[in-house]
Structure 1
Amino acid sequence: MGSTSPLSARSAARDISSMGDTGFWRSGAFRTAMLSGVLFVGLTVVLLALVYEVATSTIEHQISASVEARARTLEQALEEDDDTGELSNIVPAQEELFRYVENAEGKALIADLVPRQHIIGAEVLSTEQVQSGFVDGGQLDDSGIIGFGMTGRDGGYVFVGQEDEQVSELREALLQAGLVATGLAVLLSFLLGWWIALRNFRRIEGLNTVAAKVMGGDMAQRMPVSATRDEIDLLSAQLNRMLGQLENVMGAIRQVTNDIAHDMRTPLGRLQRKLEQAQIADDPAAANALVDSALDESRTMLDMFGSMLRIAQIEGGGLQKHFVRFDLSAMLADLADTYRPAMADGGRELVANIQPDIEVFGDRALVQQLFSNLIDNAVVHTPRGTIVRVTLEGRGNDWIAKVTDSGPGIDPEHRPYIFDRFYRADASRTTRGSGLGLALVKAVAEAHVWSITIANEAGLALEIRPAK
């Protein structure tokens, strides 16, 4: 298994720290927030322009409809009578209303203002397009005129116009309001963008800080997760799960290393002594016997290495991808049939009481290894004449499996430690075994979220069931 050197870890941590030194104003969060602010301001300007256009167009349309109605009224009256007084009474003079009426002979009957040319239909006129002609001598303002002109059936001409002062005032008010709204939008978008960017920047800085500490060797660090549950929190939660698995793997590797350092020293010493004795032995037969014994010792150590690595892999996690639903009852029945003849030859009896059709979700090979280790443990640590019982009962996910024996059992002071690596209640080490069998059982059970306990019965009784 590879590992990260302290030098490379410190270098990676410095790289992460240097990336955090780019500053808030150059951060991606700030640029994104400012871009969003620019888009917000742009949309605000477009919206204000649409409001400006719709509002002014609506007022112009209303004025145009009003002057058209008045022009048609004058045209109908002109067909009946071209009396100037009567026409003035029909559409009286107003401050902002301008009339021009001429009869079929071209004589001007009413001339509040005079168009330089006959205008047919609706049109917006500027002061340059009309000639001032107020009866009272007043002057036309700088604003334009919204007018409507038409030719009557008798050949006369009518034009009615209204000063667009309302439209001009509305335009000015909308422009002022638009400038104020745009300024507020710019200020608001900047403040909001700055706040959002600063908040995200601080959260990302927190992730960078944790990453630097993890790269520095502090595997207990976890990414901060807030209550908002947004995408950064989801990413942090995923990273925390990854860090948890990584911490388990690294812890398992450290544990394996420590176990090797403490518990492999004795067998390695025996192996060395046997090889040294074989090297200096005068009798070839004795030398060969010592070499054979050394080979047996090396095979035992290889088995121990394999068991330790297997336990580390299981404790490292990631086994769920191999889980399938299988028949635990059938597997235990087959296992009992496999062990029964060999145990009978050794003077022991295997009794199986297995309820059928109990299924579990897990790694079939590992579960089989778990129960094989329990049966092997009962065989190794019990005398001839012992009865080993394998039972399974329950329903659905509420099941319990037991492996019990009628042997001498285990003293209470040893019970808290029997699942530890290399722990052996037999301090003299006269019984075979490496002290890893029950450690592997515990690792497999925990990987499946099962509990394993020592039952209070005669002999040794181990119970396995789904964890509550």
Structure 2
Amino acid sequence: MSLRNLKRIHKTIGVRITLWYLAIFSLSFLALFSILYLYISSSLIMEDHQRINSKLKELVSIYKKNGIEGVREELDIERGTGRRMRYYVKITNRQGRTLFIYQPQEMKGLRIRSIREANSDRLSSLLQKIDIRTYIEVASTTLPDGNHLIVGRSNRERERLLERFRETFGGVVVVVIILGFGGGSIIAFRALMPLRNIINTVKRIEGGRFDARVSVPRTGDELEELSLLFNRMLQRTETLIEGMRSALDNVAHDLRTPITRLRNTAEAAITGNDIKQCHEALSDCLEESAEIQRMLNTLMDISEAETGVMRLDFRRIDLSLLVEDVVELYGYVAEEKAVTIEVDLEKGLHINADEGRLKQVVANILDNAIKYTPPGGRVTVRTGLMDGYAFVSIKDTGIGIPEEELPRIWDRLYRGRNVLTQKGLGLGLSLVRAVVRAHGGHVDVESGLEEGSTFRVSLPV
């Protein structure tokens, strides 16, 4: 995927996040307004119904005592106090003929017949429409003498309050949309900042900056995990590239001498007339090619192990039995050189490891110990458990390693001054450390000139 497409996706994601946030924010506000509106509206309706029912009961009580005149006097008194009359009152006989009617000022001009009158014994609320939004709510009851009392109240005042509430919502919703869009933009900007960092890092890598890394946000979320994983991928890629570059440099440098010898030997075979010499030259060519092949294989193994691409067949193995097999293999070599091998192996020491590679590690260290120990010397091999790690310790009484050379013995193709006369490539210990690290372990050495050496390989249990 090109950077242009990645940038376009980033912009699209940012817009989507903003719109989603705006939609959720606006819908949440709308839901809150709807709930609040319904609550206020129902509360006002209940309050109006309670007033109508209370007025109905009050007028029934007055009617029982003083009849229609008592109701008329009560309404005149209320009107005389200057209070705005909000109740419609009507008394009819059993045949429905009107005996008394009181019509509030706000209902003037309305046709009385447009009001549906209820002749029920129980209190009820009936909606009588005056216009689209304004209507009269009425309740009725049967009086003791058989007449009917109807009390009504307009919802106009309630509608005015609700209308103001709706108008307020209309003004607030604009502010909500602006806040939602602004908040969504800020959230999208902050949320996509790691993605922008990745884009910028990819651009730097395209420019040759293979050491570029993404800044990791300390948020504890998926974006932090994405940044960490991206940096690990970059680190592994850089390690692979450096490993390949280093391997190519080493191969180019160290193959020059054996290839030159191989060429010289081949030229000598071509120019020579002696059949025996030709056969010897061809034999030397085979040896040189085998040496080159061994060097290449070892270098590739080291590079694969160091870069993490070496295929390891992890199995549950007995470390002590593995070491015992390697010691038995090198027993004849040690006997020929008059070097004694002593073993102290802890039984039942199981670990997860690649058996073949681990044998290669132990064999390399043990081979060096025998090779650099003079006749009559001793090599001690131990296994055990320490600090949660299984270890293999190989100690010899050989020539030792100068202290100043200890940090360099792990370098590829490095050979100490006191071992230059011995045959070798200088790759064994590099391979040992690379394979041990690939197993999640570590290898340590203690040595001094003419004091012998102790190598300890520690592997997780």
TM-score w.r.t. length of structure 2: 0.85
Q: Distance in 2 between matches of 1:163 and 1:319?
A: 88
Query: 8 Å contact 1:98–1:161 — kept in the other structure?
Result: yes
Asked if 1:157 is matched to 2:157, the reply is no
Residue 206 (structure 2) aligns with: 215
Shift in alpha-carbon separation, 1:412–1:65, aligned structure 2, 3 A: closer
Asked if 1:102 is matched to 2:80, the reply is no
Name which of 161, 168, 179 aligns with 1:170.
161
Q: Distance in 2 between matches of 1:384 and 1:282?
A: 44
Residue 444 (structure 2) aligns with: 452
Residue 40 (structure 1) aligns with: 25
SS of the equivalent of 1:276 reads helix
SS of the equivalent of 2:150 reads strand
| RMSD of Structure 2 on Structure 1 (CA) | 3.0
Shift in alpha-carbon separation, 1:393–1:143, aligned structure 2, 3 A: closer
Could you tell me how far 1:321 is from its partner in structure 2? 7.3
Asked if 1:50 is matched to 2:53, the reply is no
Q: Distance in 2 between matches of 1:321 and 1:145?
A: 88
Query: 8 Å contact 1:67–1:162 — kept in the other structure?
Result: yes
Correspondence 1:337-352 to 2 at 5 A: 337-352=328-343
Residue 70 (structure 2) aligns with: 86
SS of the equivalent of 2:125 reads strand
Q: Which amino acid aligns with 1:119?
A: E
Query: 8 Å contact 1:41–1:186 — kept in the other structure?
Result: yes
Residue 139 (structure 1) aligns with: none
Q: Distance in 2 between matches of 1:284 and 1:411?
A: 48
Residue 126 (structure 2) aligns with: 123
Q: Which amino acid aligns with 1:458?
A: E
Q: Which amino acid aligns with 2:432?
A: V
Shift in alpha-carbon separation, 1:311–1:162, aligned structure 2, 3 A: same
Residue 28 (structure 1) aligns with: 13
Correspondence 1:246-261 to 2 at 5 A: 246-261=237-252
Query: 8 Å contact 1:56–1:170 — kept in the other structure?
Result: no
Query: 8 Å contact 1:118–1:149 — kept in the other structure?
Result: no
Residue 4 (structure 1) aligns with: none
Could you tell me how far 1:41 is from its partner in structure 2? 0.8
Consecutive unaligned residues of structure 1, counting only runs of 5 or more, are: 1-11, 130-141
Query: 8 Å contact 1:358–1:396 — kept in the other structure?
Result: no
Q: Which moved more, 1:105-114 or 1:290-299?
A: 105-114
Residue 107 (structure 2) aligns with: none
Residue 294 (structure 2) aligns with: 303
Residue 5 (structure 1) aligns with: none
SS of the equivalent of 1:373 reads helix
Shift in alpha-carbon separation, 1:417–1:231, aligned structure 2, 3 A: same
Q: Distance in 2 between matches of 1:190 and 1:362?
A: 57
Q: Distance in 2 between matches of 1:311 and 1:104?
A: 112
Residue 321 (structure 2) aligns with: 330
Could you tell me how far 1:118 is from its partner in structure 2? 4.0
Could you tell me how far 1:195 is from its partner in structure 2? 0.9
Shift in alpha-carbon separation, 1:396–1:255, aligned structure 2, 3 A: same
SS of the equivalent of 1:27 reads helix
Q: Distance in 1 between matches of 2:307 and 2:170?
A: 63
Could you tell me how far 1:191 is from its partner in structure 2? 1.1
Query: How many residue pairs get matched?
Result: 439
Could you tell me how far 1:54 is from its partner in structure 2? 2.9
Per-residue CA deviations over 1:115-151 (Å, capped at 9, x if unaligned) read 315422422334469xxxxxxxxxxxx9532222345
Consecutive unaligned residues of structure 2, counting only runs of 5 or more, are: 79-83, 105-110, 119-123
Shift in alpha-carbon separation, 1:97–1:322, aligned structure 2, 3 A: farther
TM-score w.r.t. length of structure 1: 0.84
Q: Which moved more, 1:34-43 or 1:268-277?
A: 34-43
Could you tell me how far 1:256 is from its partner in structure 2? 0.6
Q: Which moved more, 1:43-52 or 1:272-281?
A: 43-52
Query: 8 Å contact 1:147–1:162 — kept in the other structure?
Result: yes
Residue 49 (structure 2) aligns with: 64
Could you tell me how far 1:107 is from its partner in structure 2? 3.6
Query: 8 Å contact 2:400–2:447 — kept in the other structure?
Result: no
Q: Which moved more, 1:362-371 or 1:258-267?
A: 362-371
Residue 461 (structure 1) aligns with: 454
Per-residue CA deviations over 1:67-123 (Å, capped at 9, x if unaligned) read 134335545765x57722223467775621221112335242233267315422422
Could you tell me how far 1:196 is from its partner in structure 2? 1.4
Q: Which moved more, 1:182-191 or 1:80-89?
A: 80-89
Q: Distance in 2 between matches of 1:299 and 1:50?
A: 86
Residue 242 (structure 1) aligns with: 233
Could you tell me how far 1:404 is from its partner in structure 2? 2.0
Q: Distance in 1 between matches of 2:436 and 2:273?
A: 52
